[in-house]
Amino acid sequence: MTTTNPTTTDTYRKIAARLTMFRPQIDLTQYFAGPNPDVRLYDEKPYIRQQLEKYGVAAATNTLDGVTFLPKHWEDLIKKLRIAKTADGFDAFAEGQSPEKPSH
């Protein structure tokens, strides 16, 4: 089965574009650890696992399900997500405190 490069999909492009609208901008490509043929994410759909194995990033079929990747420099990514602001100065993300009551 041929696996489409996830970075060329509508889902990926929409999410990547949204992240560039935050301040500071977030460039996902800086955080991709790269292809990992040994990845074993059994709870993921087969096409997501195949994309991760080949490209190191996977894009779902819709923006709600998003983009999956194994990050490098994950501490830096978390810091950027925590300080990211919308164009009107609001926090871009709310950090979840527990799996039972996620803030989304």
Query: Does 2 score more than 80 pLDDT?
Result: no
In a domain, 19, yes or no: yes
In the predicted model, is pLDDT for residue 96 greater than 90? no
Domain encompassing residue 79: 6-83
The answer to whether position 15 is within a domain reads: yes
Nearest alpha carbon to residue 57 among 2, 4, 93, 96: 4
Assigned domain for 97 exists: no
27-86 confidence digits (pLDDT tens): 999 999 888 777 777 778 889 988 988 899 999 999 999 999 988 899 999 999 999 999
- Domain assignment present for residue 17? The answer is yes
Number of domains in the chain: 1
**How does DSSP assign 33-86, residue by residue?**
----TT---TTS-HHHHHHHHHHSEEE-SSTTT-EEE-BSSHHHHHHHHHH-B-
Q: Residue 19 — pLDDT band, cuts 50, 70, 90? A: very high
35 within a domain of the structure (yes/no) = yes
